[in-house]
Amino acid sequence: MAMSDDKLKALNSFWDIPGMKAGVITGDVAWNLLQFAKAKGFAIPAFNCTTSSSVNSVLEAGAKIGRPIIVQFSEGGSAFFCGKAIDNKNKEAAILGAVAGAHYTRNVAPAYGVPCLVHSDHCAKKLLPWFDGMLEADQEYFKVYGEPLFSSHMLDLSEEPHDENVGICADYLKKMAPMNLILEMEIGITGGVEDGVDNSGVSKDKLYSTPEDVWLVHSTLSPISEKFTIAAAFGNVHGVYKPGNVVLQPELLQKFQEDGKSKLGRDKPYCLVFHGGSGSTKKEIDDAVSFGVVKMNVDTDTQWAYWEGLLNFYKAKSGYLQGQIGNPEGADKPNKSYYDPRKWVRESEVSMVKRVVESCTDLKNV
């Protein structure tokens, strides 16, 4: 069960949450961490990972600042994780990759010394076989260890009629609740393009949720389980755009919370999630966190950071990367120490670690 706001506010550190540990956390411990973040005025960034290298980068950043972190896998990223040669016609590659990524994270995360949530990202209706496969893995893991493999999963049925979206989420939450899994769900649509899903042409009114939308989610899901978060739309768009092209209205989140308080009698009753966070201003992020956002997704910015690390390495060492033999030091000099993947992949990791730390700082997760 969730700790009360007063008890959470009285804690000096997230380490004081009962059951807190280094490594992957689930159930009440994970849920109380999100509640603690809301009570203390910070949010935890979630980073899309596609390889063990990107997982390591996220965990390294968390270890560097001694703060909790979220590793998440999209459907496309999951399929990539296990190898592009594996058929994904029936989402078998995505299932295998997500499960492998979760197991990998579970195995290595304790060594980094910080808590970590493992999450699956946007799952549209057409991707439900992927979700079902992950739930099966959760159930098998639960039978052995008494907790699910993943900490949380996201359903993104925002393209469907609102009642259908909430109804399907309720059906899945009933399956998840016995394992103490956290459900993240989306209402309204996050614009732009992400992981092959193109919402760039969506009607602008779909980019903004209403208090009534949020209340229907809460009133439907809360009788099943307290463990759900809401990615309510307030103009969010995936990707990075020129200033002025995206009109975020984080004050809508405040209206949702005020409406919820009038019905439930407590401050900021909703746990909210910020999607399409790449490229947002610091003030927009600060406002969103102050209105009860406990998690923010980051993908585009860390993709660029990972690439930029390699790009800068190539620019600095290009003379050593034109062939196996021959460089500015001599025609017979070997270049193996430069083109060894461990060298340039590490440069990408170092760059990504810096960007992960920056996101943590933006969200006051420091």
Q: What's the pLDDT score for residue 276?
A: 74
Residue type at position 278: S
- Please report the pLDDT score of residue 275 as a whole number: 86
Q: Which CATH architecture has domain 5-362?
A: Alpha-Beta Barrel (3.20)
Q: Taking the complete model, does pTM exceed 0.95, yes or no? A: no
> What's the CA gap between 331 and 335, in Å, rounded?
11
Tokens 């899901």 sit at which residue? 221
Q: What is the pLDDT of residues 211-232, one digit of tens each?
A: 999 999 999 999 999 999 999 9
Distance CA 178, CA 219 (A): 19
pLDDT at res. 128: 98
Residue 273: phi and psi, rounded to 5, are -125, 140
Structure confidence at residue 192 (pLDDT):
43
Percent of the chain with pLDDT over 90: 83
> For 25-39, how does the pLDDT look when each residue is reduced to its tens digit (9 = 90+)?
999 999 999 999 999
Instruction: Give yes or no for residue 278 having a pLDDT over 80.
Output: no
**Tokens at residue 17, please?**
């949450």
Q: Where are the domains of the chain?
A: 5-362
Backbone phi, psi, residue 26, to 5°: -140, 180
| pLDDT higher than threshold 70 for residue 209 | yes
Encoded amino acid at 210, one letter: T
Active site positions, annotated: 121
Task: Find the Cα–Cα–Cα–Cα dihedral 215, 178, 227, 206, rounded to 10°.
Answer: -50
Partnered with residue 185 across adjacent β-strands are: 155, 230
The candidate with the shortest Cα–Cα distance to 202, out of 169, 240, 235, is 235
Q: Do 51 and 81 contact (CB within 8 A), yes or no?
A: yes
Structure tokens at 198: 């193109």
Over residues 307-362, the pLDDT tens digits come to 999 999 999 999 999 999 999 999 999 999 999 999 999 999 999 999 999 999 99
For the stretch 91-126, pLDDT in tens is 999 999 999 999 999 999 999 999 999 999 999 999
